[in-house]
Amino acid sequence: MFLDKKRFKNAFLERLENMYGKNINESTTIEQFMVLGSMVKEHISKNWILTKKNYRERGEKQVYYLSIEFLLGRMLGTNLLNLGIREIVEEGLRDLDISLEKIEQQEPDPGLGNGGLGRLAACFLDSLASLHLPGHGCGIRYKYGLFEQKIVDGYQIELPDYWLREGNVWEVRRSDKAVEVRFGGNVWVEKVGERLVFHHENYESVLAVPYDIPVPGYKNKTVNTLRLWSAESAIKDFDFQCLNNRDYQKIIDYKRSTESISEFLYPDDSKEEGKILRLKQQYFLVSAGLQSIIRSYKKRHQDIHDLPNKVAIHINDTHPVLAIPELMRILMDEEGLEWDQAWSITTRTISYTNHTTLQEALERWPIDMMKTLLPRIYMIIEEINERFCRELWNKYPGEWDLIHQMAIIADGQVKMAHLAIVGSYQVNGVSKIHTEILKKQVMKNFYACFPYKFHNKTNGITHRRWLLKANPLLAKIISDTISPNWIEHPSDLNYLQNYAKDPSFQEQIFLVKKKNKISLSNYIQEKYNISVDPNSIFDVQVKRLHAYKRQLLNVFYIMDLYNRLKENPDLDIIPRTFIFGAKAAPGYFLAKRIIKLINTVATVINNDPTIHGKIKVIFIENYGVTLAEKIIPAADIGQQISTASKEASGTGNMKFMMNGALTLGTLDGANIEIKDEVGDNNIFIFGLTPQEVLHYYQQGGYRARDFYQSDPRLRKILDQLMNGFFLKEVVEFKFIYYSLLQENDEFFVLKDFAAYADTQQRIDQSYRDHKAWTEKSIINIAHSGIFSSDRTIYEYASGTWEIRPIFIP
Ligand SMILES: *Cc1c(COP(=O)(O)O)cnc(C)c1O
């Protein structure tokens, strides 16, 4: 049906009639989307079945990527591109007087993730399939994704994101593959001969039902599977008939409590979430995932001992770390293996990636909670801990403190990162600096114990979504200049280096950027009724709102620039449009004050005629994948200004460089590797180094107040927070003020301010020479290939999972 335009049109019209009983003029755009989506899914299905058959029959090793988040973004556009049918569809629809773009905008953006970690999982799926690798995702089908953000009077308002309202065209419900997950109850032990048999009783049973989403590779026949689990009650309908009222109420309560497990994505990826429900979600994902992995393994293979040669299980941060005790449980309690055999299999099957060194994000669960909710799993963790501590005792006799520090269970808590390191064969960091910090600081005792486990895998992004799809104009001039080979071999982008000084190519690059800026300006005009100048520098910071990411540093500079413009309206600056996009976790008070501050400053500046529109400040609400695809191609500057040592990698930075924006950033995460790739002249680096920051944290010696006292710019800005200059209700910003001056500015905003301001001035100077600027921009694009997630996935495939491509004939 996608062979040519004519066949497509006929099939489209016919299906519109079949599904909705309407002709083209009567149909709504959402109906047209559902029709097109269902056609595309059907088209994918043939190769999906073929891929599954090949994987089954060949019996080669496969990887399962367990993640509590998959931040997928819309799928129609990427599916059309990967299947190579975008043009036929676009032209066919045009004949029918329908715009493909409009149809694409009907698709809800499945926000099943908070930020970088969830987006990484989605990029990995695309790369796995595109590289013919047998790798599948395993996650939760949250009924509500990350909240929808509205800004009202400068404040963030959170609305539920019911993305499933119209159903999800891409998924297939597989009731036949449902499994049971057990919570609570009690465990008793029976000795049968020499063996201990564990009986789990009085538990609450939850039905995990998988919904499969196909993941097609780029112009190949591979179609992998993303399996998202939904929680349902295990009660059959006919049970209802013979119930009295009391039992009926009990059943209603039970139904509600089971279904709540897959109801919400926790909108907080930075702080420990002390809720039982979150722990339930983690075990639900892991137990359902592992049961299904083992069941499918047993269909293909005889011997459970061979599992590590046929299956790799990867855990994306510690949220799925219960995979370790759960695999032990299955191997011992269900497959009848002894501890030592089960442990050997488990620790050769599971690998782990750490995503943060923020203390508050290191997961710990109270023993009592774990014991009550997961009695058998807790017993297994206890045993793992005892054996591990005994090993430590042999290695470090008498060193109680060290052993206490390294224990998996201590101080009334289960330490999930410790469990992850002990129970997996590999621990990965997500950038060179992050891996070094893990080895030398955060996990140094574990590194001393298991140096061979620690590896680096610098993150990446799929260039197919983030360049080919998000920036078609740029993709086209690249393909016209160096051939389209870069799409399958992103390192070929390197050839652009030869055109960095080519005036005609520079001209094209400049023009494309301009067009993307105009298109974003139009969006801003329509949505917020604010006009921005496409000739101004588009200076963008889009990412989750967090103190360590330092949106505050950015807004302080804007306040300073505004102060200078008020003093001297003739100040010679290149007009600048500052663009923000950021969601704050609903309970994160400081982050929400910062959103209010940005919006307050924006309102004052955008409405002040005396500065002649030289600066504009735009806060784009509801930042997510879809908006990222619109904003990033229009950026001249991407701000990556986290406190050095705090951003494990960042992936936003990679998207910006790939789209020709220059990085304004600290020596943090992957910024360092970007700098090493493009060279010091093609990036704007400032501020404390990771070593300096870590030194301050360990040795003290930082006094934020000194900077307030000695830098008149900072004094003015901080005073303005408290004297009603921007907003009469000064209580709004008190918390920000105190976090800096009373609590000594944990993230060194004041310390880095001067260097940041200087660097912003350098950018202003630099942009005046359009040719030189565009040359830098081209050099960034030319060096972005290494940050394709294809490279990351190659490294995981060969260095961690030991999986090989399977070409589908
Ligand atoms: C890439 C991406 C992120 C991660 O951005 P960082 O700047 O690395 O924090 C977060 N949210 C969305 C929607 C993204 O696409």
Question: What DSSP string describes 23-34?
Answer: -TTT--HHHHHH
Q: Report strand pairing: 615-619 vs 576-581.
A: parallel
**C-alpha span between 560 and 350 (Å, rounded):** 51
> CB of 213 within 8 A of CB of 230?
no
The DSSP element (H or E) to which 155 belongs, if any, is strand 155-161
pLDDT band at 273 (very low <50, low <70, confident <90, very high): low
pLDDT at 239: 58
Residue pair 597/557 in contact by the 8 Å Cβ criterion: no
Distance 116 CA to ligand 1 centre (A): 5
283 CA → ligand 1 middle, Å: 26
Atom of ligand 1 nearest to the CA of 625: 13
Residues identified as active-site: 355, 543-544, 549, 651, 655
Q: Write the pLDDT tens digit of every residue in 505-552.
A: 999 999 999 999 999 999 999 999 999 999 999 999 999 999 999 999
Question: Does residue 441 carry a pLDDT above 90?
Answer: yes
- Taking only the tens place, the pLDDT of each residue in 731-746 is 899 999 999 999 999 9
Which CATH superfamily is 463-785 part of?
Answer: Glycogen Phosphorylase B; (3.40.50.2000)
Residue 525 tokens read as 């005009």
Whether the per-residue pLDDT at 663 is higher than 60: the answer is yes
Q: Which residues line ligand 1 (CB under 6 A)?
A: 115-116, 119, 543, 624-625, 628, 650-652, 655
Class of domain 59-73+109-459+794-801: alpha beta
Indicate where the chain has its CATH 3.40.50.2000 domain(s).
59-73+109-459+794-801, 463-785
- How far apart, in whole angstroms, are the C-alpha atoms of residue 446 and residue 438? 9
- Cα distance between residue 449 and residue 410, in whole Å: 19
Average per-residue pLDDT for the chain: 96
For residue 332, what is the DSSP state?
Answer: I
The Cα 543–Cα 366 span in angstroms is 31
Determine the pLDDT at residue 234.
85
The predicted structure's pLDDT at residue 242: 59
pLDDT exceeds 90 at position 275: no
Cβ–Cβ under 8 Å, residues 215 and 226 = yes
The answer to whether the beta carbons of residues 428 and 351 sit under 8 Å apart is yes
Measured in Å, residue 670 CA sits from the centre of ligand 1 at: 13
Please choose from 70, 72, 123, 543 the residue to mutate so as to test ligand 1's pocket, defined by most ligand atoms within 8 A of CB: 543
Cα(115) to ligand 1 centroid in Å equals 5
**Gyration radius of the chain's alpha carbons:** 27
Band of the pLDDT at 728, cuts 50, 70, 90?
confident
Ligand 1 center to 37 CA (angstroms) = 26
| CA separation for the pair 708, 741 (Å, rounded) | 8
Check pLDDT > 70 for residue 295: yes
- Amino acid found at 355: H
Q: Whose CA is nearest to atom 8 of ligand 1?
A: 650
Protein residue closest via CA to atom 6 of ligand 1: 652
How high is the pLDDT of residue 761? 98
The residue whose CA has the least distance to atom 5 of ligand 1 is: 652
Pocket mutation for ligand 1, best pick of 117, 637, 651 (most atoms within 8 Å of C-beta): 651
- Residues of the chain with pLDDT > 70, as a percent, come to 98
Q: Of 2-6, 694-698, 790-794, give the lowest mean pLDDT range.
A: 2-6
Residue 240, pLDDT > 60, answer: no
Mutate to test the pocket of ligand 1, among 356, 542, 620, 632 (most ligand atoms within 8 A of CB): 542
Residue 611 in tokens: 């500065």
DSSP classification of residue 577: E
Ligand 1 geometric centre to CA of 363 (Å) = 22
Out of 229-238, 266-275, 558-567, least confident range: 266-275
Q: Which two tokens stand for residue 289?
A: 């995932």
Question: Does the pLDDT of residue 267 top 80, yes or no?
Answer: no
pLDDT tens across 749-797, in order? 999 999 999 999 999 999 999 999 999 999 999 999 999 999 999 999 9
Give me the pLDDT at residue 230, please: 98
Exposed / middle / buried, residue 204 (Cβ in 10 Å: 0-12, 13-18, 19+): middle
Distance (Å) from CA 542 to ligand 1 centroid = 7
Q: What angle do CA 391, 397, 398 make, to 5 degrees?
A: 125
Distance 743 CA to ligand 1 centre (A): 28
Per-residue pLDDT reduced to its tens digit, 457-516: 999 999 999 999 999 999 999 999 999 999 999 999 999 999 999 999 999 999 999 999
| 250 pLDDT above the threshold of 90 | no
- Cα 565 to averaged position of ligand 1 atoms, centre (Å): 32
